[in-house]
Chain A
Amino acid sequence: MSQLQFELTTIDKALRRGSLHFTNKNKIIQTPACISYTVRGSVPHLIADNLKSLPVSMVHVALEHFVEQKEPSSFKYPHGLHRYINLPEHLIFCDVRDPSKLAPASANTEKYVAVDTHGGVRRVTADLWKQAIEAYKPDWCATPADVVKAGEEIKTKRIKKSVDRTLRWLDDCLTSSSTAPVFAPVVGFDNQEERVRSAEEAAKREQVSGFVLNGFELNKDVRMECFKASIEQLPDNKPRLAYGLSTPESILQGVAQGIDLFDDSYAFKMTERGRAITFKFGKSMSKAEEGEKPEKTLNLWDTRLAQNFDPIDSSCGCYTCTTPHTKAYIHHLLNAHEMLGPLLIMMHNVYQIERFMGTIRKSIENKSFEKDSEAFMTKYNHEKEASGMDGHEDEIDFESLGSPIKKNRIL
């Protein structure tokens, strides 16, 4: 029996509520859920001690972050990835690409996925993947996908190749001696037939424990349709993970379509823009009011917060809000370009995404998901969040350091 079992609790058309059972670790994860984004094995800005206080159970580790070294030291480390990155109590999902973006790299070939690193392009072959997974011993993983980036001119021939390659690599990787459960990528770009073929074929591999869809390969306007074409071919009793659906709006769309797992890179993206997540969902969201639609996040670079001595959110249970650190202090840290600023914001944002997923699960249980989603879309401003730092000039209180001298002063 695979170390990873999936149980569906409720299903209503495409909408699902379930749980992932990691049987050898005795851990159960309720879905829909988010897997926490990491860079080089750490949640950005947070060392393990910081992460401990957050309700995070699963982390996503991208192989591409570790292969800059031609002979990756993480492969040589004898105790497995959990200990290498110091997250022994967390569940680790290992995939090839960074889920927050599909960075352009050189073209993939029949034999490898090309990834860009600081040290140049690296080739992730099925063999390299097997080497990594066997050394890392993650809790589960996904095999390499030949994902073609949206926007490029893609011919049908190329799309067929991507489906074929991805399947071939899947079959090759399944021969690995590793016992880590495997998720199979489902590709096919925007070609209906190929998407169906990719999903059908992946579903035929019985030992596969779940499926991965990559939103980055599709333009936003056709994404959900394309996903649908694949999802319809996938068995209900295995979980689906999707990349490229990190905004709250797209998470809601994904949940409605039957996606069970997402990544929380939205938390990181907002942190990098100096923004704290403030949106709510479901029961804890207050009704929309007349007038301007509220933002989903708060810009902590805003000079109007310089003397606001309240926490970001007094109902939030994160370290930042329970200390409670104030908006004024965090604003000061950003203005002073101190690393503690992003650290405090990141802790808050990761907590809030977890909370968001919790309210989604409750909403599905209460059979009010559709209604709650509509209310969310009506209430909030859905424009892309600008970086809070744009146009910012460091605020320096010059008067603090001295008094002006009158012009005709005799010294």
Chain B
Amino acid sequence: MEIKSFSGLKPGQETLDLVNGAHKFQKWNRNLLTDSGGFQMVSLLKLAKITEEGVQFASPHDGSLMMLTPEHSISLQNSIGADILMQLDDVISSLTTGPRVEEAMWRSIRWLDRCIAAHKNQDRQNLFAIIQGGLNKDLRRQCIEEMVKRDTPGYAVGGLSGGEEKDVFWQIVSLCTDLLPKTKPIYCMGVGYAEDLVVCVALGVDMFDCVYPTRTARFGNALTMNGILSLKSGKFANDFGPIEEGCDCPTCTNYSRSYVHLVATKDTVGCHLVSVHNVAFQLRLMRKMREAIIRDEFPSFIINFFASYFGDKSRYPGWAVNALKTVGVDLMAS
């Protein structure tokens, strides 16, 4: 489960220190991962300005100047106590061009070093580095070369999923997975839709996070292997089958599409029912991929997935077709 450190604003570091971390606070005894707060900061706060020291911002409380440093981010993540922490990186929009991209890349390396130095719990919390470099392959190569020297427990591919062209997105992912050590987990942040997950796994990614499944659930949209169902639509009013035939989640086992349609977007129960299904879907998708990989049947899994999910070949996203070709899977072959 991922916690955005920006959310550490609620309940606050002091509260988390008093109770000894988020696992105890939430009563969640499985794994937790925290993000550094940098991304939320830049995307949500006004007047956020990156300096060498850290991210300078105006306190939403009284407008006074504050600074989020790598040290502070790690301190907060140490208090939250998650099993995986992310470095504070100089995150820029994937659409940025020019010298700022290179500046951000080198700075991220320097901030990685500061994060490592500030990390108090090396023995029980795993700090991941985040590869930057925008959409520039040379910069990405340099970043990887440097960060790998720090030998962190895992590596994330950052700075993507920001609206860049998907055809560039996959090439950067592919480059990173080619160059990063095979014995460490690779984490693609902010990914994503079902087809993105399948393609990225094919390219060598191990871990993902995304708000999409639960957010879209709250709007009444259910993810299935046969595409996305917009359960708010009147066409489901009298559909008495489960959201997804064969799904063993509590919603599909016990409730009909008709009932979910009745409550979707009207009652929190509607949010819960679809969220439960969508989370189950994500877990099932990942599990099926793992099983197919172990059985050495992943290419046929991919071909079947795209066929069920999109239906017609004409609907297959072009970028996915291109990406999969590079790993020997031809989606368009008959």
Residue numbers of A with Cβ under 8 A of B are 39-42, 44-49, 66, 69, 73-74, 76-78, 84-86, 118, 306-307, 309, 323-326, 328-329, 331-332, 335-336, 339, 342-343, 394-405, 411
Collect the chain A residues with CB atoms within 8 Å of residue B55's CB. Answer: 402
Inside 8 A of A46's CB, which chain B residues have their CB? 269
Which of B7, B56, B267 is in CB contact (< 8 Å) with A39? B267
B57 at the interface (CB under 8 A from A): yes
A contact residues around B27 at 8 Å (CB): 323-325, 329
Which chain B residues border A49 with CB–CB below 8 Å?
250
Residue ID in chain A nearest B51 by CB atoms? A411
Across the interface, which residues of A come within 8 angstroms of B6, CB to CB? 401
12 A-B contacts (beta carbon < 8 Å)? A40-B263, A41-B259, A46-B269, A47-B251, A47-B276, A73-B258, A84-B258, A332-B11, A400-B9, A401-B5, A402-B66, A405-B67
Contacts A86-B259, A401-B41 supplied; 10 other A-B pairs, CB < 8 Å: A42-B263, A45-B272, A47-B273, A73-B238, A78-B240, A309-B18, A324-B27, A329-B26, A401-B66, A411-B56
Note all chain A residues with C-beta closer than 8 A to B37.
401
Q: A309-B19, A404-B66 are in contact. Are A73 and B237 (CB under 8 A)?
A: yes
Q: In the complex, what residue of chain A is closest to B61 when comparing beta carbons?
A: A398
Interface of A (DSSP majority class): loop
Q: In the assembled complex, which residues on chain A have CB atoms less than 8 Å from the CB atom of B67?
A: 402-405
A-binding segment of B68-76, B127-135, B180-188: B68-76
B13 within 8 A of A: yes
- Cα(A86)–Cα(B269), bound, Å: 12
**Chain B residue at minimum C-beta to C-beta distance from A336:** B10
Contact B256 A400 (CB under 8 A): no
B51 x A402 contact (CB < 8 A): no
Minimum CB–CB distance for A270 against chain B, Å:
16
B8, B10, B59, B238: the one within 8 Å of A76 (CB): B238
**Cβ-defined contact, B76 with A401, below 8 A:** yes
Instruction: Give the residue of A78, A85, A411 whose beta carbon is less than 8 angstroms from that of B259.
Output: A85
8 Å CB contact of A73 from B11, B64, B68, B262: B262
- Interface residues in chain B, defined as those with a beta carbon under 8 Å from any beta carbon in chain A: 5-15, 18-19, 25-27, 37, 41, 51-57, 59-61, 64-69, 72, 76, 237-238, 240, 250-251, 254-256, 258-259, 261-263, 266-269, 271-273, 276
Interchain CA distance A223-B9 in the complex, whole Å: 49
Residues of A within 8 A of B268 (CB): 44-45, 339, 342-343
Query: What is the distance, in angstroms, from B68's C-beta to the closest C-beta of chain A?
Result: 4
Q: How far apart sit A403 and B67, CA to CA, in the bound complex (Å)?
A: 5
Within the assembled complex, what's the spacing in Å between the Cα atoms of A287 and B255? 47
B13 proximity list for chain A (CB < 8 A): 397, 399-400
Assuming the A-B contacts A85-B259, A404-B66, are A397 and B12 also in contact, with contact meaning beta carbons closer than 8 angstroms in the complex? yes
Q: Shortest beta-carbon distance, B94 to chain A, in Å? A: 24
Q: B10 and A395: CB pair below 8 A?
A: yes
Q: Contact between A398 and B9 (Cβ–Cβ < 8 Å)? A: yes
Q: What B residues does A405 contact at CB under 8 A?
A: 56, 64-67
Is the beta-carbon distance between B15 and A398 smaller than 8 angstroms?
no
CB distance from B39 to the nearest CB of A (A): 13
B53 neighbours in A (Cβ, 8 Å): 411
List of B residues within 8 angstroms of A343 by Cβ: 268, 272
A73 to B261, CA, bound (A): 10
Inter-subunit contact A404/B262 (CB<8 Å)? no
Asked if B64 contacts A404 (CB within 8 A), the reply is yes
Within 8 Å CB of B57, what residues of A?
Answer: 402
Within the complex, the shortest CB–CB distance from A394 to chain B, in Å, comes to 7
- Once bound together, how far apart are the Cα atoms of A396 and B27, in whole Å? 22
From A44, A46, A47, A86, name the one whose CB has the most chain B CB atoms within 10 angstroms: A47
Which residues does chain B contribute within 8 Å of A328, judged by CB atoms?
A: 11, 15, 19, 25
Bound Cα distance A395, B8 (Å): 11
Residues from chain A with a CB closer than 8 A to the CB of B12 are 306, 395, 397, 399-400
List the A residue with the shortest CB-CB distance to B52. Answer: A411
Q: Which residues of A contact B8 (CB under 8 A)?
A: 397, 400-401
A402, B72: Cβ atoms closer than 8 Å: yes
Chain B: CB-nearest residue to A87: B254
Which residue of chain A lies nearest to B19 when distances are taken between CB atoms in the complex?
A309
Q: Assess the B60–A396 pair: CB atoms within 8 A.
A: yes
CB neighbours (8 Å) of A399 from chain B are 12-13
**Residues from chain B with Cβ under 8 Å of A73 in the complex:** 237-238, 258, 261-262
B40 to chain A, nearest CB (A): 9
Find the A residue at minimum CB distance from B10: A336
